Amino acid sequence: MGLAKRIIPCLDVNNGRVVKGVQFVDIRDAGDPVEVAKRYNEQGADEITFLDIGATHENRDTMVHTVEKMASEVFIPLTVGGGIRTCEDIRRMLNAGADKVGINSAAVFNPDFVQQAAGRFGAQCIVVAIDAKQVSSPGETPRWEIFTHGGRKPTGIDAVEWAIKMVDYGAGEILLTSMDQDGVKNGYDLGVTRTISDAVSVPVIASGGVGNLDHLVDGVTKGKADAVLAASIFHFNEYSIPEAKQYMASKGIEMRL
């Protein structure tokens, strides 16, 4: 009896539609974001993460409107990420009804922004999103670096050191996406998930690569993640949230059923 591990369906949103691609290309349509979020809310999702993958101003206004609509109908925590660069962006999303914001590239370009944001809005609403890719060769000590721009641009920054620094700067949670695994359905990168989860004091959300329910279980048991995020297995009805929760509970993981 105690704190449950969380299942977080992730909605990648572009031009007001939920989309899902493989390694950030080959995009498929998965529906209206408010309808999708409502379905997950009814199914017992523990939180919802909402990522704006478009970068235009029009898209941003659509996002704010969608978050507002969602917040009137969905009463579980809502994280909004993608293109959050200033305290004004954060204020706007929180006012629209988001509970947390995900900061990714902006943290890399200006780490002080995380400190500023956590100071102003509280660490509890600052999620630092890290896109990590393994850079060591097989046989070497594993090493991961962070990438920006949807996994296209290397930064030379060590992912584990970066996670520790971001927590020092006030991140209340780490959303860790493996760029090698994203969309390919072979399971999370358990090595980087476990290494970062052991290295930081705050909760870590595993992301990128879920293809079946054992991957969710492994994310918690082997990757030591506090929450598991997935998109396509839920969007395209391969598995339902209750099914995933029952399965994880049957493997001895504490869940909210």
Q: Is 95 in the site for other proteins (CB under 8 A)?
A: yes
Interacting residue with other proteins among 24, 32, 99, 142 (CB under 8 A): 99
Q: Is 123 in the site for other proteins (CB under 8 A)?
A: yes
Q: Find the binding residues for other proteins in span 35-54 (CB under 8 A).
A: 41, 44, 46
Q: Is 131 a catalytic residue?
A: yes
Side chain identity, residue 180? D
Q: Is 242 in the site for other proteins (CB under 8 A)?
A: no
Residues whose CB falls within 8 Å of the CB of residue 124, separated by 6 or more in sequence, listed in order: 100, 172
Which whole-number Å values give the CA distances from 235 to 41, 154, 172, 238, in the listed order? 13, 30, 27, 8
Residues whose CB falls within 8 Å of the CB of residue 239, separated by 6 or more in sequence, listed in order: 212, 213, 233
DSSP state of 204: E
Q: Is 1 in the site for other proteins (CB under 8 A)?
A: yes
Interacting residue with other proteins among 145, 173, 189, 218 (CB under 8 A): 173
Q: Is 3 in the site for other proteins (CB under 8 A)?
A: yes
Residues whose CB falls within 8 Å of the CB of residue 157, separated by 6 or more in sequence, listed in order: 108, 145, 146
Q: Is 137 in the site for other proteins (CB under 8 A)?
A: no
DSSP state of 189: -
Active-site residue, selected from the candidate residues 46, 52, 89, 131: 131
Report how far residue 175's alpha carbon sits from residue 207's, in angstroms, rounded to the nearest whole number. Answer: 7
Please count the residues of this chain forming the interface with other proteins, following the rule CB under 8 A.
Answer: 35
Contact residues toward other proteins (CB under 8 A) are 1-6, 41, 44, 46, 71-73, 75-77, 94-99, 119, 121-125, 172-173, 201-203, 226-227, 256
